[in-house]
Amino acid sequence: MTKRAAAGRAPKVGAPAAEKPATRAATRRTAKSAAKRAAKPAPKAAGKSGGRTATEAASESSAEATTKATVKAAKAGTKAGTKPESRLAMVRRARRINRELAELYPYAHPELDFRNPFELLVATVLSAQTTDLRVNQTTPALFAAYPTPEDMAAAVPEELEDLIRPTGFFRAKTRSLIGLSVAIRDDFGGEVPGRLADLVTLPGVGRKTANVVLGNAFGVPGITVDTHFGRLVRRWKWTEQEDPEKVEAEVGAIFPRSEWTMLSHRVVFHGRRICHARKPACGACPIAPLCPAYGEGETDPEKARKLLKYEMGGQPGQRLSPPPDYPGKPAPALGAD
Please give the distance of CA 254 from its chain centroid, rounded to a whole number.
Answer: 17
Return the CA Rg of the chain. Answer: 40
Please indicate whether residue 208 is annotated as part of the active site: yes
Q: Which candidate, 290, 294, 268, places its Cα nearest to that of 281?
A: 294
Catalytic pick among 40, 72, 208, 303? 208
Amino acid at the residue 125: V
Cβ neighbours of residue 11 closer than 8 Å, sequence gap 6 or more: 17
Distances (CA, A) of 303 to 38, 49, 281, 309, 320: 71, 52, 8, 13, 29
CA distance 285 to 181: 43
DSSP letter string over 131-169? -HHHHHHHHHHHHHH--SHHHHHT--HHHHHHHHGGGS-
Residue 51: beta bridge partners? 46
Distance CA 63, CA 54 (A): 14
Instruction: Indicate which residue of 75, 186, 226, 303 is catalytic.
Output: 226
Angle at 135 between CA 132 and CA 139, to 5 degrees: 140
Hey, which residues does 46 pair with through a beta bridge?
51
Chain-centroid distance of CA 176 in Å reads 32
Positions annotated as catalytic residues are 208, 226
